[in-house]
Amino acid sequence: MTDLLELAVSILEAGGIYALMALAYLVVLRPTGIINFAVGEWATLASFFSVATLGWWNLPYIPGAVLALAGVAAIGALTEQATVRPMIERGAPILTPILILLGMVVVYREAAALGFGTQNLRVPPPLGFGRIDLGPIAIPMQSAVVIAVSGIMLAGTWAFFERTIWGKAFQAVAIDRVAAGLMGINLRLVAAFSFAGGAAIAGTAGVLQAPLTSAHYLMGLPLAIKGFSALVIGGVGRVEGCILGGLVLAACERLVMRYAPIPSGFAIGVPLLLMILFLLVRPTGLIGARGRT
Amino acid sequence: MTKTRLTRRALLAGTAAAATAATLKAPAIAQNAPIKIGVITDRVANSAMWATLMGEGVELATKQVNDAGGVLGRRIELAWEDDQDRPDVSATRARKLIGDGVVMILSLSSSTAAQQAQTATLEGKVPHMSPSHSADTLTTRLNNPYFFQMGPLASFQIRTLMAYAGTRFRRVALLTDNSALGTVNATSFRQGLQQGNIQIVADETFERGVTDVTPALQRVRAANPEGIFHAGILGAEMALFFRTYHQMGLRQPVLGSFNLSIPTYLDLVPGLLEGVQFIDVYDDVKPEVVDFANRYKAVHNKDPFSLPAYGYDGIMLTVDALRRAGAPDREKLRDAMHATRNYTAVIGARGTTIGFAPDRRIGFPENGCVVRTIANNKHGHAVWRGLAAS
């Protein structure tokens, strides 16, 4: 029983991180059509920024974390303006910005290594590393923080898309970019906002993960892979798909790690196997997109 | 006019005097080209964490040698190359260094990169040394008479841990990560434990980038081992292990490889490594270590540990071999390296020395490891040396 409860916490925690990474892809992908593989590096940069704001400057946790996320959001917006927008405005095929952003992975990574070094750096947790005792289970404090913050972020993003006019504008651009432009939606602003938002969401995953593992300039790639897998599993369309995809992926990984009669290290193949499986059997994912993409 | 002529004469005389003085006072060292030593490091990838720190020792030793007049009347010049911890790139960098005329190549990045670089040093017939690598297979997979391994083999590490703690355990868990070195270390640990008739009741591998190790540690907990042997090397995954170990309330003693001698862990998970016992080659009461520590501290204003010492010894052993070779000739240097006996390095337990037996190219002595324990978030003194108590 204890094992199952611990696993449930572990699945919610990891599922939250994966869902945020999937959401970072989605927020950029839906209005622009661009798969941005640099989301992992955005998580890395935010975790390093939190080393500076929380570790070196000793800011209180919330202002420090917000400052780190603002920093990476600004980088996201700048990236869009400096590298993606010129290509789009020149009528380049969609593959061009995807490749440019793939190149930006290296730029971000090298910049992080140059700026913060190659050593693992500690990020202080907001509430320490104690445990909350709840009857038969003790929930690690940082796990509770990860679950709560990722839940709030995911719910907030869902509300943004579903309940605000800005969110509707994003949806409109996703459904028909040309028509949305003709209706007066500022496509440039939507693109810039999607990159800034995507960076902030990926950054949140990085800032939540870093206290558990440390900030390291190579931490982005595994997060990017898990996020992309969750996106494919959940469906490249809606916030609910990211949440579901993240949770399904985390559950499969953890159940394989715990109960499959194979070394736990083999769980590294679970995201890729699931991704292949979904692409073959259900390419739209568990929850498909609304309207035309 | 007179005044102008006098000034010109004075200028000419002064110039001539200065040139003569410069010629007369120039040390012999400046008349010869420097001796080039190639260093393949990793500045950007997985092994940068330790390669960078070893590089500090390499630079410290080079400065010390050059400040003392160099070797064979010539300065040492380091030629650095970055292999990004990629085996294919490492071989390419080794070829470049060979083309640049280095007499020795030190490999500081990963074992797999050093393994691949050997194809180039074997082909180019250039002495090649790994100051720190622990992979048992580095000198066996390729019969490269130019390659020398100075670090403590993983099999030596597990034998030392077994000598120290083996009789206390009959059932243990073996943990590692899926890095190349972590996998190699775990293989040696597994063999050592099995040879010691110690049952491995849980054998878990953490993937790079894992966000939670709870399921793996649940398997460990369910297997109820008496101790946990950790052969992993990845920093983030190690930090995650120690956090989860404490959060799950595990109590089994943790025994680790030489990777835990990196003080970074004390910063990453402060207070969570209390009581951890780990292998090291840094015996801090040894006179050579004290001398090295003073020199290092004077430059870096911090206490050193094993990693800079490996780099320092790599250069110092090369310089010692160059002196014995009598000339910066690759073949003579190779012979001198292989003839090394009883070289007292910074690394190694008190009373042990580095030497290459005629039929082996492994320099670190089997009894050269020490066991240290972490207390008060600091590395304690050695509590065990070699394969028997001292």
**Tell me, what CATH number does B306's domain have?**
3.40.50.2300
In this structure, which amino acid lies at residue B59?
Answer: E
Q: Are residues B348 and B376 in the same domain?
A: no
Residue numbers in A near B211 (CB within 8 A):
13-14, 17, 209, 212-213, 223, 226
For residue B301, being part of any structural domain is answered with: yes
The tokens for B139 are: 């000198």
Q: Are residues B378 and B249 in the same domain?
A: yes
For residue B17, being part of any structural domain is answered with: no
Q: Could you give the number of structural domains in chain B?
A: 2
Q: Are residues B251 and B375 in the same domain?
A: yes
CA–CA dist A56, A49 (Å, integer): 10
Q: Which residues contact B118 (CB under 8 A, 6 or more apart)?
A: B128, B138, B142, B144, B147
Show the DSSP H helices in A176-290 as ranges. 177-182, 187-213, 220-234, 239-259, 270-281
Q: Are residues B227 and B123 in the same domain?
A: no
Q: For each of chain A's 293 residues, which pLDDT tens digit applies?
A: 778 888 999 999 999 999 999 999 999 988 888 899 999 999 999 999 999 999 999 999 999 999 999 999 999 999 999 998 888 888 888 889 899 999 999 999 989 988 888 888 999 888 877 788 877 777 888 889 999 999 999 999 999 988 898 888 888 887 787 888 888 888 888 889 999 999 999 999 999 999 988 998 889 999 999 999 999 999 887 889 999 999 999 999 999 888 888 777 777 888 888 989 989 988 888 886 555 44
CA–CA dist B190, B168 (Å, integer): 17
Q: What is the DSSP string of A30-79?
A: HHH----TTHHHHHHHHHHHHIIIIIIS---HHHHHHHHHHHHHHHHHHH
- Cβ contact (<8 Å) for A7 and B215? yes
pLDDT score at B389: 54
In terms of Cβ atoms closer than 10 Å to its own Cβ (0-12, 13-18, 19+), residue B175 is buried
Contact B248, B224 (CB under 8 A): no
Q: Could you give the number of structural domains in chain A?
A: 1
The tokens for B290 are: 């004290």
Q: Are residues B106 and B186 in the same domain?
A: no
CA–CA dist B223, B204 (Å, integer): 11
Q: How far is CA B72 from CA B142, B324, B328, B332, B333, in A?
A: 32, 10, 8, 14, 13
Question: Judging by DSSP bridges, how do beta strands B254-256 and B370-375 pair with one another?
Answer: unpaired
| A41 contact B CB<8A | no
| B219 contact A CB<8A | yes
Which has the higher per-residue pLDDT, B21 or B275? Answer: B275
For residue A239, being part of any structural domain is answered with: no
Please give, rounded to a whole number of angstroms, the shortest distance from the CA of A186 to a CA of chain B: 38
For residue A292, being part of any structural domain is answered with: no
pLDDT score at B248: 87
pLDDT score at A136: 74
| A260 contact B CB<8A | no
CA–CA dist B311, B57 (Å, integer): 5
Q: Are residues B148 and B168 in the same domain?
A: no
Please give, rounded to a whole number of angstroms, the shortest distance from the CA of A282 to a CA of chain B: 27
Q: Which band of pLDDT confidence, cut at 50, 70 and 90, is reported for residue B10? A: low
CA–CA dist B107, B111 (Å, integer): 9
In this structure, which amino acid lies at residue A2?
Answer: T
Structural domain harbouring B261 = 155-280+371-385
The tokens for B316 are: 């110092």
Q: Tens digits of per-residue pLDDT, B36-71?
A: 999 999 988 878 888 999 999 999 999 999 999 999
Nearest to A213 among B236, B249, B270 (CB): B236
For residue A94, being part of any structural domain is answered with: yes
Please give, rounded to a whole number of angstroms, the shortest distance from the CA of A274 to a CA of chain B: 17
Q: Are residues B203 and B260 in the same domain?
A: yes
Question: Could you tell me how many residues make up chain B?
Answer: 390
Rounded (10°) angle between helices A187-213 and A61-79: 130
Best B109, B211, B238 residue to mutate vs chain A (most A CBs within 10 Å): B211
Q: Are residues B98 and B130 in the same domain?
A: yes
Identify the three-state secondary structure at position B177: strand
Q: How far is CA A84 from CA A88, A177, B295, in A?
A: 6, 16, 51
| A16 contact B CB<8A | no
Radius of gyration of chain A (CA): 19
Count Cα neighbours of A32 within 13 Å in the Cβ-side half-sphere. 32
Model confidence at B347: pLDDT above 70: yes
Q: Which residues contact A138 (CB under 8 A, 6 or more apart)?
A: A131, A132, B247, B249
Q: Are residues B259 and B292 in the same domain?
A: no
pLDDT score at B29: 46
For residue A268, being part of any structural domain is answered with: no
Model confidence at B13: pLDDT above 90: no
Contact A275, A229 (CB under 8 A): yes
Best A7, A114, A116, A119 residue to mutate vs chain B (most B CBs within 10 Å): A119
Contact B366, B156 (CB under 8 A): yes
For residue B28, being part of any structural domain is answered with: no
Show the DSSP H helices in chain B as ranges. 2-25, 28-31, 48-67, 87-99, 111-124, 154-165, 180-195, 214-223, 235-247, 264-268, 287-300, 306-325, 330-338
Q: How far is CA B222 from CA A152, A259, B201, B216, B217, in A?
A: 35, 11, 9, 10, 8
Encode burial over B121-158: b for 16+ CB neighbours within 10 A, e otherwise: bbebebbbbbbbbbbbebbeeeebebbbbbbbbbbbbb
Q: Are residues B257 and B334 in the same domain?
A: no
Q: Are residues B237 and B272 in the same domain?
A: yes
Q: Are residues B59 and B96 in the same domain?
A: yes
Contact B84, B45 (CB under 8 A): yes
pLDDT score at A291: 54
Tell whether ipTM is more than 0.85.
no
Pick from B86, B90, B104, B89: which is nearest to B146 by CA?
B104
Structural domain harbouring A80 = 2-219
Model confidence at B7: pLDDT above 70: no
A139 → chain B, closest CA residue: B247
CA–CA dist A79, A95 (Å, integer): 16
